[in-house]
Structure 1
C-alpha cells in the first residue's frame, strides 16, 4: 500500500514505520525533516502551517494516512483539508486519556469520553482529534487508544527511571498506596496493531483500545522490572508523606488508573501482544542496561525528603 505517515520520527512514529516497512508498504513521511528514516520518502512541512501542508501534499494521493502525532482538532482539520479527499482511509493514534472520569475501570470503547480531569487538555484535545477524523469523510477510519506505551526506544523517562533506582539500590517511592492500575502497550505491538487494521480497513469510523490485557499496579511495576533486571528492589508506598507535591514532581506516572480494555480490538482483528508483558519488560531492562541508561543517578532532594518522613 501507498501510505502517508504524519510524524514518523518520534518514539511512536518510528515503531509504526518499522512495522509498515517490514510489511512491504510504501511509506511517505510528512514532518519537519529533522530525522530522515531509511527506506522512506520524505515530505517536509510543519503540520501547523496550512500553506506549507497544502504545498507539500499538492497532487499527492495515498491509499491511507496514518497520523502518529496529532494533538488537536485543528491539526486534524488542517491535514484533512490538505489531503483534499484524495486519501480514502485514515488511522489516527489517540489515547486512553480520552475517557472521562465517569468511565468504569478499565474502560471499554462505549464508556464516556471527553478526557479525564487528571489528563487536562491532553485528554480533551485527543477527544477532539477523534471527532474531527470521525467526520472527515473517510471511507474507512479508526482511532487507536493506547494507554502507556513502553519499549526500549521510549523517549519518555519511565522504565529507565525505575531501573536507575533499582540498579543503584535506592528505594522506589510509589504514590499513595500503590493501587493505581496501568495497562501497557509495547511499541512493536502497536506497530503490529496498525498493520492488522490496514489489512482489513472496514468501512466506517470506529475507536478501539489497544493494550496488553495484563493490569499492573503501581507496586507491581517496579517488582516486575526488578525481576526482569535480576535485582532486588525496596518499594515504599508514600501515602500522604509527599504533602502537596504532585506525583509527577518525583515519579514518572500520575497516581490515577491508566488502562483501556482491549478485548474488542483483539476479537475484531485477531491481534494480540507478541510476547507476555514480563518478557517485554525483560527485553527493555536488557536494552537499557546494555546502553548504560540505568547507570546515571538522578535521585532528587524531593525523593529524599519524602523518604525521610517514611523512615
Structure 2
C-alpha cells in the first residue's frame, strides 16, 4: 500500500514509518523535511507546511494514497482540512487523537471506549480540542464521505520524545537521581497508570492501515503493564543503581501555580490511566502492547546516553525551587502544632 503520513518524524510516527517499511508498504512523509536523517531506507517525502492550506492541497493534489495517517491534527479545523483534501484521493483516513480526550473521572476501569464520554470543558485546551476533532470526525463517519479510523494513544514515551516526568524533564530525572536531588511527584504518587512506549503504539496505526474492520471505529492503544506513578521514578533508579528521593506536591496546587505547565496533571494524570484493549486486539490482531516499563526505560536510557542529552538547567532550577517550597511548607506546618 501507498501510505501517506502527515508528520512522520515524531515519537510515534517515526515508528509507524519503520513498521510500514518492514511490512513492505510504501510510506510517503509530509512535513517540513528537516529530519530526513531519521530513516536509512529511501522514503519519499513531500515537503511543506500543513498550516499553509493552499500550498498543502496543491502539493498533494497530483497523488492518490491507499491510506493517509494524520498525526498532526489537533482540532476540528485541522481534521476538516485533511478530510476535504483527501476524501477523493485516499481509501482511508486514520487520525491520531488521545486518551486525554476522555472525560474524567472514568465511568469504567479499565476504561472501555464505548463506556466513556468525550471532554466538553475547554479548561484543558489540548483535551478539549482533540475531543472536538473527534466529534467532527464522527459526523464524517456518519455521512459516509470516506472511511475514518481514530486511534487514541495514552502517554507514550519513545526516542525523540520530551514528555517524561512531572516537568517533562526527561534526562533531568537521571541527573537528579545521580546527584541525590529530590524529584517532584504529583499527589501521593499512587495514581494507577500503564506507561506505553512508541513501538507498541505505532503497531496500532500500522495494523489499522487498510484494515476494513477499523472503518468508522475509535480505539485506544495502550500498555496494560499495571503501575503507579511513583514506579516511573523508582524503576529509573533501579536501572541506574541509585534510589531516588521523591517529594509529593498536590496536583491542584501545581495547577493553580502554573496551569499551562501542570494542566495535564490536574485534568488527566491524577486519575486512573488504565485502559481495556479488548476492542483493538479484536480488530487489529497485529497490535502489540508488551513493552514493559523496565524494557521501555532501558530503551530511553540508552537513547539519553547515545545522544548525550544535556540537562535542562531552567527546569532543574524550577524543580529545586519546588522542592525548597515543599520543605519550607512542611516546616511551617509543623510549627502550627
Return the TM-score normalized by structure 1.
0.87
**1:1-311 paired onto structure 2 within 5 Å:** 1-36=1-36, 38=39, 39-104=42-107, 105-115=109-119, 120-134=124-138, 135=140, 137=144, 140-156=147-163, 157-198=168-209, 200-202=211-213, 204-239=215-250, 244-246=256-258, 249=261, 253-254=265-266, 256-257=270-271, 259=273, 260-270=275-285, 271-293=287-309, 298-300=316-318, 301-310=321-330
Deviations 1:253-284 (A, max 9, x none): 55522623323213432323243222112222
Deviations 1:126-181 (A, max 9, x none): 12222333415465432111110112321333543432321221112212222333
Cα distance in 2 for residues equivalent to 1:92 and 1:77: 11
The alpha-carbon deviation at position 106 of structure 1 amounts to 3.8
The alpha-carbon deviation at position 90 of structure 1 amounts to 1.6
Determine helix, strand or coil for the equivalent of 2:187: coil
Cα distance in 1 for residues equivalent to 2:68 and 2:30: 10
Cα distance in 1 for residues equivalent to 2:135 and 2:253: 38
Gaps of 5+ in 2: 332-337
Cα distance in 1 for residues equivalent to 2:18 and 2:282: 24
The alpha-carbon deviation at position 119 of structure 1 amounts to 6.8
1:160/1:141 Cα in 2 relative to 1: closer, same or farther (>3 Å)?
Answer: same
Comparing 63-72 with 146-155, which one deviates more in the overlay? 146-155
Return the TM-score normalized by structure 2.
0.81
Give the structure with the larger helix fraction: 2
Cα distance in 2 for residues equivalent to 1:200 and 1:93: 16
Cα distance in 1 for residues equivalent to 2:148 and 2:97: 12
The alpha-carbon deviation at position 226 of structure 1 amounts to 1.2
1:15/1:241 Cα in 2 relative to 1: closer, same or farther (>3 Å)?
Answer: closer
Determine helix, strand or coil for the equivalent of 1:233: coil
Question: How many pairs were matched up?
Answer: 311
The alpha-carbon deviation at position 3 of structure 1 amounts to 0.6
1:40/1:307 Cα in 2 relative to 1: closer, same or farther (>3 Å)?
Answer: farther
Residue 238 of structure 1 contacts residue 310 of structure 1 at CA under 8 Å; is this kept in 2? no
Cα distance in 2 for residues equivalent to 1:33 and 1:179: 42
Cα distance in 1 for residues equivalent to 2:265 and 2:177: 17
Cα distance in 2 for residues equivalent to 1:9 and 1:274: 23
